[in-house]
């Protein structure tokens, strides 16, 4: 496979899972003190990851969780975030402008913050109450935090069994997905690398990744136009612009909102000849129990989209690193 | 002005404001009993209206509010909605499929519901704990509920003064906006009625209306392709697909998130020659104090977009009533 380092992928996921004792220590300390709110805060891709973990928590528990966009927080504030609240965030660079500003407010308010910052001496790393430094794997980090909060609240009793399976099998399983999807991904890229417009539909944990894939990958990195839409909303407006030649991809996961995506998947063939389904169910996850697959299906489809990206990049001769405006201009 | 009945508009807004004593009675009763959560529930346009009122409440108070999508609620549930919670919804037909299903769950759980249902003998009207029947003006209804909850919590002391101004001046002020914007709207429609793609950007209370305008008007009623994006998110991906010929409209309101939209408005002229700003500040609201304009700016821009719609409909010879698929097919 082009642009794929299997050993790096295995090490990356296993390394992320290995930070779990640190995550547990932090969350356990906070639970011992008590908290009134768990807020996942981000912007762009990290905001999308926050939506994913919010969906996961909502499916399984009644924990008081909310997602806050760092840019909106700086403009409007959020009076519900108090000195008893926990704010969880992630920043690869550790200097995301909006998050740096937000952090000043959070510090002044005495809010407890858990930061996953990939650069250990970056401003956000220094300012977080708890900083955990490990590269990539943002979703896995957020979900480990969430699962520990739910376990401590007595609402995720499967915690130990589930993580034993991840520790033993997740990394290999995800590599297998990448390998199994590469041929499809190459074909998909050939079909869609020059789309004038591409619609992406998802639900549940897949919604955050659908939004992020459309905006942070196709728009930002491939300069291809997209719209993402929640499957529940598809039938309340967007369907009217779908015709034979409309490019639509539906992501199907295995959590409680799967039926919403399935409804779109059933509708499309009647009106559209350019639709694609990317379904986590199509991929084996050896060693993972069926009842846990729903917690992971966004990681599965992400393996597939990663392979699509590699092929689009190659066909379009458009390196994914380049930006037209982002960090090229001051604005 | 074509397709404009001034007296109807005046009567419609004044009639909506006249239901306020009923709204107050309902909210006061609920506040006397106590509640643990205020949830605005909707799908499509009513979900978008819910986002608007959530933004308004968040700006001014720390009330426990959340927005739930009825379709997602039916698939995933929401364990935080209890028999002490209040769910507020709106349905023109009174038989919105997703909301009818959601209502069964809410009734079984003993949740208090406030329904604005335009048809008084529809299923949703019968099932709501409190049903208030008055046509149109969905945002005004939701905001009256929100403002009363905030007043009762001691977080909206300006309530009486503010509503005295609305009662005396709002209807006339909105008619003046429609009249003042018609020429611009006609020109905008001439420029954009055949766009292959149009981007809409908004923040704060304007975000819900931006999302709704893109999806429920351009896509659903004009069959024109759009993408809507929150102004805070614009700089985290979408900006990369904007070039000289990209059609982008930014809605600017006057609430706390205005600076987010202003940032996009400042950026666009540098990279794009087909952008438009629709700014509530450009319109006089006689009799409304400056400090209250932010609560109403979504109603102002809605007057402008209503006029745009009339002109697009005329130019495109595409009656806004017709649907390709919605309620034409079973799905």
Q: Look at A233 and B44 and tell me if their CB atoms are within 8 Å.
A: yes
pLDDT digits (tens, 9 = 90+) for A13-68: 999 999 999 999 999 999 999 999 999 999 999 999 999 999 999 999 999 999 99
Whether A139 and A202 share a structural domain? no
- Give CA B56 to chain center in angstroms: 11
Q: Look at B240 and A216 and tell me if their CB atoms are within 8 Å.
A: no
pLDDT digits (tens, 9 = 90+) for B118-172: 998 999 999 999 999 999 999 999 999 999 999 999 999 999 999 999 999 999 9
Q: Domain for residue A225, yes or no? A: yes
Answer with the one of A101, A117, A152 that is the final residue of a domain: A152
pLDDT digits (tens, 9 = 90+) for A87-129: 999 999 999 999 999 999 999 999 999 999 999 899 999 999 9
Q: Look at B203 and A257 and tell me if their CB atoms are within 8 Å.
A: no
Q: Domain for residue B162, yes or no? A: no
Average pLDDT over chain A reads: 97
DSSP A143-208: HHHHHHHHHHTTS-TTHHHHHHHIIIIIHHHHHHHHHHHHHHHHHHHHHHTT-S-EEEEE-THHHH
Q: Domain for residue B175, yes or no? A: yes
Q: Domain for residue A206, yes or no? A: yes
Q: Domain for residue B328, yes or no? A: no
pLDDT digits (tens, 9 = 90+) for B187-243: 999 999 999 999 999 999 999 999 999 999 999 999 999 999 999 999 999 999 999
- Pairing, β A130-132 against β B275-279: unpaired
Count how many domains chain B has: 2
B260 contacts in A (CB within 8 Å)?
Answer: 71-72, 75
pLDDT digits (tens, 9 = 90+) for A213-225: 999 999 999 999 9
- For the cut 90, the answer to whether the pLDDT of residue B327 exceeds it is no
Whether B208 and B260 share a structural domain? yes
**pLDDT tier at A71 (50, 70, 90 boundaries)?**
very high
Whether A195 and A285 share a structural domain? yes
Whether A138 and A12 share a structural domain? yes
pLDDT digits (tens, 9 = 90+) for A153-206: 999 999 999 999 999 999 999 999 999 999 999 999 999 999 999 999 999 999
Answer with the one of A152, A182, A201 that is the final residue of a domain: A152
Whether B174 and B84 share a structural domain? no
Whether A205 and A241 share a structural domain? yes
B105/B65 Cα distance (integer angstroms) = 19
Q: Do B34 and B194 touch, CB atoms closer than 8 A?
A: no
Q: Which residues pair with B91 in a beta bridge?
A: B117
Q: How far is CA B181 from CA A252, B121, B210, in A?
A: 44, 38, 18
Answer with the one of B118, B152, B186 that is the final residue of a domain: B152
Domain of A218, CATH number, reads: 3.40.50.10490
Q: Domain for residue B158, yes or no? A: no
Whether A143 and A174 share a structural domain? no
ipTM greater than 0.95: yes
| CA dihedral sign, ordered B258, B143, B208, B191 | negative
Mean pLDDT of A254-268: 98
Q: Domain for residue A96, yes or no? A: yes
Whether B181 and B139 share a structural domain? no
Closest approach of B103 to chain A, Cα-based (Å): 17
Closest approach of B170 to chain A, Cα-based (Å): 25
In A64-97, which positions are buried (b, 16+ CB within 10 angstroms) versus exposed (e)?
bbbbbbbbbbbbbbbebbeeebbbbbbbbebebe
Whether A175 and A279 share a structural domain? yes
Whether B80 and B190 share a structural domain? no
**pLDDT tier at A327 (50, 70, 90 boundaries)?**
confident
Question: Which residues form the domain of A227?
Answer: 169-316
Whether B272 and B302 share a structural domain? yes
**pLDDT score for B163:** 98
B303 Cβ partners below 8 Å, 6+ apart? Answer: B174, B177, B178, B181, B283
Q: Look at A76 and B66 and tell me if their CB atoms are within 8 Å.
A: no
Q: How far is CA A226 from CA A141, A197, A232, B273, in A?
A: 28, 5, 18, 21
**pLDDT score for A74:** 98
Whether A177 and A147 share a structural domain? no
Q: Domain for residue A147, yes or no? A: yes
**pLDDT score for A15:** 98
**pLDDT score for A284:** 98
């Amino acid at each position: 496979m082009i642009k794929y380092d299997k050993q790096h992928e295995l090490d990356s996921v296993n390394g992320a899972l290995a930070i779990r004792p640190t995550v547990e220590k932090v969350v356990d300390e906070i639970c011992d003190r008590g908290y009134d709110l768990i807020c996942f805060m981000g912007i762009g891709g990290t905001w999308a990851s926050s939506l994913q973990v919010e969906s996961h928590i909502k499916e399984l528990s009644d924990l008081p969780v909310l997602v806050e966009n760092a840019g909106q927080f700086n403009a409007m504030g959020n009076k519900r975030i108090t000195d008893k609240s926990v704010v969880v965030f992630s920043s690869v660079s550790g200097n995301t402008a909006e998050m740096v500003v937000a952090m000043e407010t959070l510090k002044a308010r005495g809010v407890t913050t858990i930061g996953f910052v990939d650069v250990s001496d970056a401003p956000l790393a220094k300012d977080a109450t708890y900083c955990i430094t490990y590269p990539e794997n943002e979703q896995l980090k957020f979900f480990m935090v969430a699962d520990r909060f739910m376990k401590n609240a007595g609402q995720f009793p499967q915690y130990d069994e589930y993580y034993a399976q991840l520790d033993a099998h997740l990394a290999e399983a995800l590599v297998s997905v990448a390998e199994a999807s590469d041929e499809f991904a190459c074909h998909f890229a050939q079909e869609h690398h020059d789309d004038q417009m591409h619609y992406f539909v998802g639900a549940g944990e897949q919604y955050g990744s659908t939004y992020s894939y459309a905006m942070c990958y196709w728009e930002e990195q491939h300069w291809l136009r997209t719209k993402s839409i929640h499957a529940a909303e598809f039938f309340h407006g967007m369907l009217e612009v779908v015709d034979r030649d409309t490019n639509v991809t539906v992501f199907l996961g295995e959590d409680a909102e799967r039926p919403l995506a399935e409804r779109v998947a059933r509708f499309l063939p009647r009106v559209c000849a350019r639709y694609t389904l990317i379904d986590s169910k199509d991929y084996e996850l050896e060693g993972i129990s069926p009842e846990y697959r729903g917690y992971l299906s966004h990681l599965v489809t992400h393996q597939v989209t990663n392979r699509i990206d590699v092929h689009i990049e190659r066909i379009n001769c458009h390196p994914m690193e380049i930006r037209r405006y982002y960090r090229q201009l001051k604005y």
